[in-house]
Amino acid sequence: MARIAIAGFLHETNTFSPLPTTLNDFSSSGGPYAAFLPDEEMLKVRGKTINRAFCGFINRIESLGHHIVPLIYAAAEPSNQVAENAFEHITGLITTGLSERGLFDGLYLDLHGAMVYEGFNDGETEILRRARSIVGDIPIVTSLDLHANITRESFNLASVMVGYRTYPHIDMYLTGERCALAMDALLRGRSINKSFRQIPFLMPLTTQSTNTEPNRTIYKLLDELESDPKIVSSSIMAGFPPADMAHTGPTLFTYADTQESADEAADKLFQAIMAREGEFTVELLEPYQAVAKAITLAKENLRPAILADIQDNAGAGGTSDTPWILEALVNQNAPLSALGLMNDPAAAEAAHTAGEGASITIGLGGKLTPGQSPFINTFLVKRLFDGEFTATGPMFNGIPTSLGKMANLQIGNVQVVVVSRRTQANDQSFFRQVGIEPAEMKILVLKSSNHYRADFECISSAIIPVNAPGAFHENAAKTPYRNLREGVRLMGKGPAFHPGNNS
Rounded Cα–Cα distance for residues 324 and 118 (Å): 31
What predicted TM-score, i.e. pTM, was given to this entire model? Answer: 0.97
pLDDT of 30 strictly over 80: no
At 459, is the pLDDT very low, low, confident or very high (cuts 50, 70, 90)? Answer: very high
Cα–Cα separations (whole angstroms), residue 331 to 132, 323, 324, 380, 446? 58, 12, 11, 17, 19
Average pLDDT over residues 369-385: 96
pLDDT at 483: 97
Average pLDDT over residues 289-315: 97
The number of residues making up the chain comes to: 503
Cα–Cα separations (whole angstroms), residue 98 to 72, 86, 421? 11, 19, 33
Average pLDDT over residues 4-21: 98
Q: Is the peptide bond before 345 cis (omega within 30 degrees of 0)?
A: no
Average pLDDT over residues 148-158: 98
Which domains does the chain possess?
A: 1-190 (3.40.50.2300), 193-281+476-503 (3.30.310.50), 287-465 (no CATH)
Residue 53 contacts residue 146 (beta carbons within 8 Å) = no
pLDDT at 328: 98
Question: Cβ neighbours of residue 379 under 8 Å, at least 6 residues apart?
Answer: 351, 359, 360, 361, 362, 364, 409, 410, 411, 416
CA angle 420, 466, 408 (to 5 degrees): 30
Rounded Cα–Cα distance for residues 80 and 18 (Å): 7
pLDDT of 502 strictly over 80: no
Residue 146: phi and psi, rounded to 5, are -60, -25
pLDDT at 34: 85
Q: Is the peptide bond before 103 cis (omega within 30 degrees of 0)?
A: yes
pLDDT of 275 strictly over 60: yes
Residue 375 contacts residue 339 (beta carbons within 8 Å) = no
Residue 82: phi and psi, rounded to 5, are -70, 130
At 192, is the pLDDT very low, low, confident or very high (cuts 50, 70, 90)? Answer: very high
At 503, is the pLDDT very low, low, confident or very high (cuts 50, 70, 90)? Answer: low
pLDDT at 102: 82
Residue 109 contacts residue 180 (beta carbons within 8 Å) = no
**Residue range 202-223, pLDDT digits in tens:** 999 999 999 999 999 999 999 9
pLDDT at 27: 80
At 371, is the pLDDT very low, low, confident or very high (cuts 50, 70, 90)? Answer: confident
pLDDT at 29: 65
Rounded Cα–Cα distance for residues 324 and 501 (Å): 29
